[in-house]
Amino acid sequence: MNPLIDTLILVAVAAAVVLVFWGVNFLLGPRSSGVVKETPFETGQVPLTPPGHRLTVRFYLIAILFVVFDVELIFLFPWAVVFNKLGLFGLIEMLAFIGVLFIGLFYAWKRGALEWE
Amino acid sequence: MIWIVYIAKFAFFLFALAVLAPLLTWVERKQSAVMQDRIGANRASIFGMRALGLFHALADVLKLFTKEFFIPRGAQKLIFLLAPCISIFFALLGFAVIPHADSLIVAGQSYAMQIVAADVGILFFFAVLSMAVYGVILGGWASNNNYAVLGGMRASAQMISYEVALGVSLIGVILVYGSVDLLEISRAQSELWFGFLPQWGIFVQPLAFFIFMTAGIAETKRIPFDAPEGESEIVGYFIEYGGMGFGMYFLTDFIETILIASMTVIFFLGGFQIPYLQADGLHIPGLMPLLFPDTVVLGVFQLNNLIVTLLQFAAFIFKVAVVIFLMMTIRWTLPRFRYDQIMNLGWKMLLPLSLVNIIVTAVVLYWLR
């Protein structure tokens, strides 16, 4: 009952499920093609611009903020598990760490990184 | 013997996929019908039998399988084919670490009621949950469609925002129970406070419960957090998908709902624990032993280990069903939030609140010990 082997078997089963979904759909589904049919859907009219032009910069800001906070989150997990063994040192260290996090969040907030018009 | 265990595990896994997810679509339709004073889905029939519309789930699956899966012009073919697979694949993996009951002991051997008895359950759960973003954003990006790109961007921005709040709210729970092993966390919740109140996460970490539920619903991208697939503005990142490609995204939604509900139950509603039920039987608190001295020896109503496991399993399924019902009630009660409201809630409310929750929990725990 090695967890790693169990995980591998589960991965195989899940992959098999996905393959069955695809396979059955390709076997049973009809096929046809046409110029109009293959045009990307855009409320029934011919698409004016191809996608991938410009997106609002907010999305990139959110992505960067996510990376920052998610990395901080990874540091919090081991600390939370061994909190009882660390004692006062662990508490104060992490209070300082979360304090820095708060300052960072507050800074991003005040600079308008979290505003959506 | 070991093969029987494996077959039982994966039979259960496939059962959960093949039965629970379609059943959930039926529950959702029926519930919406009841809430909106309609009759609801009841047209599909086999030999004139309608069975309360249960066959609609079957009809849905058949229809999705027999529809064309086609690739629009200009799409990135490989990624377009792969994206829904990524989505459902990682949603399925999430079930690996869920403990459905305490370990079953047969002939001195202990069998974990988890598909994978890993001791890093929370980390595994977060790993597969984060991977769901890839399925969404790649599907949107590969479709060569303006709406799909927008939907994919919105969905991924929303999911990563709420993932932070989701993770930070769980730190408090890990602090209290001192483990990232889901089985350990479930076991720890069998202890009692003041001799009668079970130490469930919802009593120990009430704020974290609300943050986790909110962020969880946002993670599944369902109403009221369904801005990525708002029908009236942009149809969604799966706009160009047909047949099982759409079906996989659709199923992912429901599988993730089950996953989030299971995690809510494990962290906050005692997991598989039934109050006062321990491994050796029912521990009755207070005056009960005095009232029934014959049946109860030292306050313990003896039960077989197998019966206890079955009861715990039933309790877990029941609790998950209750949480899913709650999530669906929320879904049919609230209107869709605007996108800026969603982002504000995630970053300006839930994240600071969950950080405060960590500080308060840590200080109180240090003070109490």
pLDDT digits (tens, 9 = 90+) for B67-103: 888 888 888 889 999 999 999 999 988 888 888 888 7
pLDDT digit string, tens, across residues B33-51? 988 898 878 887 788 777 7
Range from B6-10, B180-184, B185-189, B204-208 carrying the lowest mean pLDDT: B6-10
CB contact under 8 A, A117 and B17: no
What's the mean pLDDT in B162-188?
A: 89
Nearest by CB to A116, from B96, B339, B365: name it.
B339
Confidence of residue B264 (pLDDT cuts 50, 70, 90): very high
CB contact under 8 A, B146 and A40: yes
B66, A21 contact by CB (below 8 A): no
Contact of A116 with chain B, judged by CB distance below 8 Å, is answered with yes
* Higher pLDDT, residue B79 or B369: B79
Q: Which chain A residues in 11-40 lie under 8 Å from chain B, judged by CB atoms?
A: 11, 13-15, 17-18, 21-22, 24-26, 28-33, 37-40
pTM assigned to the model: 0.90
- Please check whether residue A105 lies inside any domain of the structure: yes
The answer on pLDDT for B294 being more than 60 is: no
Backbone dihedral region for residue A54 (phi beyond 0: left; psi -120 to 50: alpha; all else: beta): beta
The answer on pLDDT for B1 being more than 80 is: no
pLDDT digit string, tens, across residues A94-113? 899 999 989 999 999 999 88
Confidence of residue A1 (pLDDT cuts 50, 70, 90): low
Distance CA B98, CA B106 (A): 21
Q: Which residues of B fall within a CB distance of 8 Å from A15?
A: 89
Percentage of chain B lying above the pLDDT 70 cut: 92
The answer on pLDDT for B295 being more than 60 is: no
Residue B311: name the closest of B360, B278, B357 by CA: B278
pLDDT of residue B268: 92
CB contact under 8 A, A62 and B160: yes
Domain boundaries defined on chain B:
1-66, 71-273+304-368
A56 Cα distance to chain centroid: 18
* Higher pLDDT, residue B283 or B181: B181
Residue B321: name the closest of B31, B11, B12, B13 by CA: B31
Three-state DSSP string of chain B: CHHHHHHHHHHHHHHHHHHHHHHHHHHHHHHHHHHCCCCCCCCCCECCECHHHCHHHHHHHHHHHCCCCCCCCCCCHHHHHHHHHHHHHHHHHHHHHCCCCCCEEECCEEECCCCCCCCCHHHHHHHHHHHHHHHHHHHHHHCCCHHHHHHHHHHHHHHHHHHHHHHHHHHHHHHHHCCCCHHHHHHHCCCEECCCEECCHHHHCHHHHHHHHHHHHHHCCCCCCCHHHCCCCCCCCCCCCCHHHHHHHHHHHHHHHHHHHHHHHHHHCCCCCCCCEECCEEECCCCHHHHCCCCCECCEEECCHHHHHHHHHHHHHHHHHHHHHHHHHHHHHCCCCCHHHHHHHHHHHHHHHHHHHHHHHHHHHHHHC
Nearest by CB to A95, from B10, B116, B359: name it.
B359
Q: What was the ipTM of the complex prediction?
A: 0.88
Nearest by CB to A29, from B69, B73, B164: name it.
B69
Residue B222 is which amino acid?
R
Distance CA A101, CA B145 (A): 38
CA atoms within 13 A on the CB side of B356: 9
CB contact under 8 A, A105 and B92: no
B342, B159 contact by CB (below 8 A): no
Nearest chain A Cα to B158, which residue? A62
pLDDT digit string, tens, across residues A4-27? 888 888 889 889 989 998 889 888
* Higher pLDDT, residue B206 or B229: B206
Domain count, chain A: 1
Bridge partners (DSSP) listed for residue B111: B104
pLDDT of residue B5: 78
- Please check whether residue A117 lies inside any domain of the structure: no
The answer on pLDDT for B313 being more than 90 is: no
Distance CA B50, CA B57 (A): 12
B185, B271 contact by CB (below 8 A): yes
Mean pLDDT, chain A, rounded, equals 86
CB contact under 8 A, B343 and A116: yes
Q: How far is B207 from chain A (nearest CA, A)?
A: 17
CB contact under 8 A, A21 and B2: no
Alpha carbon distance, N-terminus to C-terminus of chain B: 45
In total, the C-beta contacts within 8 angstroms joining chain A to chain B are: 192
CA torsion angle for B239, B254, B245, B236 (degrees, to 10)?
10
Range from B2-6, B119-123, B139-143, B345-349 carrying the lowest mean pLDDT: B2-6
> Could you tell me the CA-to-CA distances from B127 to A6, A47, B117, B230, B262 in Å, in that order?
17, 37, 16, 27, 16
CA torsion angle for B88, B92, B93, B94 (degrees, to 10)?
110
The answer on pLDDT for B340 being more than 60 is: yes
Nearest by CB to B359, from A98, A109, A117: name it.
A98
Structure tokens at B229: 């697939």
Q: Which residues of A fall within a CB distance of 8 Å from B167?
A: 70, 73
Nearest by CB to A76, from B69, B143, B171: name it.
B171
Structure tokens at A54: 């410009």
CB contact under 8 A, B115 and A6: yes
What's the mean pLDDT in A62-77?
A: 89
Distance CA B50, CA B136 (A): 36
Distance CA A18, CA A103 (A): 45
Distance CA A12, CA A10 (A): 5
Where b means 16+ CB within 10 Å and e means fewer, B148-169 reads bbbbbbbbbbbbbbbbbbbbbb
pLDDT of residue B290: 54
Domain that holds residue A93: 3-43+55-110
Mean pLDDT, chain B, rounded, equals 84
CB contact under 8 A, A26 and B248: no
Confidence of residue B300 (pLDDT cuts 50, 70, 90): low
